[in-house]
Structure formats: C-alpha cells, structure tokens
Amino acid sequence: MTMAAAMQSRSAEAPARSTASRIAQVDIVSDLGEAEAAWRAFEQTGHLFTPYQCFDLLAPWQQLVGPHEGARPFIVIARDLEHRPLLLLPLSLRQSHGVRTACFMGGKHTTFNMGLWNAEFAEQAAPADLDALLAPLRAHVDVLSLTQQPKRWSDQQNPFALLPRQGSINGCPLLTIEPGGLPESRISNSFRRRLKSKEKKLQALPGYRYHLATSDADIERLLDWFFRVKPARMAEQNLPNVFAEPGVEQFIRSACLSRRGDGRAIDIHALECDEDVIAIFAGVADGQRFSMMFNTYTMSEHSRYSPGLILMRYIIDRCAERGYRSLDLGIGSDDYKRMFCKDDEDIFDSFVPLTSRGKLAAMAMSSLSRGKRMVKQNQVLFDLARRLRQAFG
C-alpha cells in the first residue's frame, strides 16, 4: 500500500476526530510527480501562498539538494468531503537519532515558509482544522519543525499562526511600498542624490544598463558570472560558501530558468556594462512582493561606486511602478538592508510534537532556537560568537 493509499484508508476517521473541521481526508504523497498537478493547481488565483513555495522552485531543490541532506518528500494534501483540495504542505522528512522530523522544503534557500492554501478556507481555518490535519501525521512524523513562517501574507493571516509559536532566530527587514506614492516615500531624496552622484561614474561606461534578465542565454551568462564571483566575496567575509554544497548550483540554475507567469521562478536583476557584470540581485516575486534570495557585485574597481545600492534603487522603483506593495532583502539585519527597509516582517517558528518521542525533540529545538535568537539580538554576544566562529572556522 502506498503512503497516500494508507492515508486515504484512514481518512474516514478524520470527521470523527473533529466534526467541526472541513478537512475530511489527508493524503501524504512521497513522489513529486504524483503531487505536481495538485500543487500547480494551488498556485492559481484564489489561493494563499508565497512564491518560495511554487513547484518550479521547490521541486528542483528536493531533487538536487534534498537527497544530500537526507530529506525525502513528504507532501501533505488535505481535502474536504467533496474531495476539493483545501491545502498542501510542501514538507521534507528527515530522520536523525531515531527522531523523524518534517520541515518545509527548501532548506536555507527559502526566506519564508508556508503551506499553499485555498484562500477562503485559510480565512476561516480554526484550531479544529489544524487538529484534523495533524492527527493523521503522527504515524509518520515525531515532530514538525516549521521555521521562518510569515504571520501574514497578502493581507491574510497564515493559519499556522494558530499553532504554538515563537519568534524566528533572525528578523526580516521589510520595505512597505505606498500605492501611487512619490519616489521619496520609498527612498529619501538625500539618499537618491548620493546614489545618483555615485552612478555618474558608472554611467560613463560603454553599454551601462539596468535590466531584468529575460532570455535563457542572459540568465546562463549572469549565473556563470555569479558562481565565479560569489565564492570570492564569501571568502573575503570568512563565510562558508553555501553555493558550493552538493546540488545547490544545479538547483539555482533550474529555478532561474523555469518560466513562471511572465517571469521565472527566480528572477535576476542586473547592473552591467559591455565589459563587466557590475552587480546582480536575484529573488522571487508574485506581483505584490519582491523577496531577494541572493546577490553579489563585481570584484573590479567599479565596486567602489556602491553598485549594489544603485541596483536596489532600480528594483524598488520598478516594483513600485508595477503596483507592488512590499519588498524585502531576505533574513538578517545587514546594514545595507536597513538603508532601504525600515519595517520588520513578523515571522515565527513552530516546533510541534506529534509523538511522545517528538516532545523531547520539540523542546530541544525550541530552546536552541530561543538561544540563537537571544545571541542575535544581543550585540556583545553576537560579536563574541562571530569572533569564535572566525577563530575556529
């Protein structure tokens, strides 16, 4: 019996457990191909989800990176009595020290993690619905480790905010874009003047331009450059090169080339001239929000003129012109992010035990996460941790 069939055979029990829930059936699918049609249906209008959870981004992560991390697909699909899909959870299952842990797919490459929900069901979801969703998972999972979840998305509450939760380790600086607002409502006039003064040096370069990469050839060329330059930039900062981990480069190339709407699963914005790629920012977008995933800038003398900040100004103005409501530059409070993003996204973690063995694991995960958050928020502890990492890394 497949896992999905096993779940269907128990689905009749779900109403008895929680008569108040609309969830009548919970399927677990361990094959991406089997889940693809249902998953893509959740990406249509009328659903609540972040672009980090689109199939064309997470499927290549699961296929190319997941096996190296010991992560197997664990896709949960809940339906009502009429068999209509209500939500899909794109999870991966890992086993360590005898504990089975389900996490969101995407590992460290997704800023936000969330289920894909029927929007009307998400609006009405109650604790009874979450009970009906989680109860059948106990046979397969000891603990759910659901990190970096936005409390709200597209002006709607994330139903998982009803679960026990705590603040995520890192915050996410956010720029709220006022619809029809003046340019200075996004970036102050004085900051714009400073950037324009720096950009004059770059504007003299032959072929200088800002653009969003649209052709496969452009995308491949920019990624070739990125995978040459980024390791050198990370080495400069004594940071581990996450892009060198097994499968990561192939996953990013696949997602950047996958067409999604009128863009790609990951869009690449670039500042370049005829002789040099000067800077790139790559991120996901859904017409309402742009979220940065990775970036870097040239090793040449052109780096002296703050090309990353200039590129960010172009992206912000482009998003505003297209009616976007917000923009973020990813997890972490680096100084350059605060130059643009004055607000903070409310993000949380939930560690939910499903078995007695999972209770201990959930307590340990929760405590470890709180400790890391405390270090991040205390500058003295953070500096000490960074010096120790450099000394022993």
Q: Cα–Cα distance between 351 and 354 in angstroms, integer? A: 10
pLDDT digits (tens, 9 = 90+) for 347-374: 999 999 999 998 888 887 877 777 776 7
> What is the DSSP secondary-structure string of 251-306?
HHHHHHHSEETTEESSEEEEEEETTEEEEEEEEEE-SSEEEEEEEEE-SSGGGGG-
Residue 22 to residue 182: CA distance in whole angstroms: 45
Between 92-96, 133-137, 273-277, 384-388, the lowest mean confidence (pLDDT) is in: 384-388
What average pLDDT does the segment 268-285 reach? 97
Beta carbons of 126 and 87 less than 8 angstroms apart = no
What per-residue confidence (pLDDT) applies to 340?
93
HSE-up of 304 (CA within 13 Å, CB side)?
A: 5
Give the model's pLDDT for residue 354. Answer: 96
Residue labelled with tokens 């200088």: 208
pLDDT for residue 169: 82
The kind and range of the H/E element at 99 are strand 99-104
The pLDDT, as a whole number, for residue 8 is 43
CA distances from 227 to 223, 238, 277, 324 (A): 6, 17, 12, 29
Give pLDDT, residue 171. Answer: 85
Domains of the chain plus CATH, in order, are 3-170+346-392 (3.40.630.30), 178-324 (3.40.630)
CA distance 327 to 315: 9
Using alpha carbons only, how large is the chain's radius of gyration in Å?
22
pLDDT score at 15: 43
Nearest one of 1, 2, 3 to 139, comparing CA atoms:
3
Q: Examine the pLDDT at 323 and tell me if it is beyond 60.
A: yes
> What whole-number percentage of the chain has pLDDT above 70?
90
- At 251, the amino acid letter reads F
Phi-psi bin for 25: left (phi > 0), alpha (psi -120 to 50), beta? beta
Rounded to the nearest angstrom, the gap between the alpha carbon of residue 114 and the centroid of all alpha carbons in its chain is 9
Residue owning tokens 């020290």: 97
Collapse the DSSP code of 44 into the 3-class scheme (helix H, G, I; strand E, B; otherwise coil) and give the result.
Answer: coil
> What average pLDDT is seen over the chain?
91
pLDDT (tens digit, 9 = 90+) per residue, 85-124? 999 999 999 998 889 999 999 999 999 999 999 999 999 9
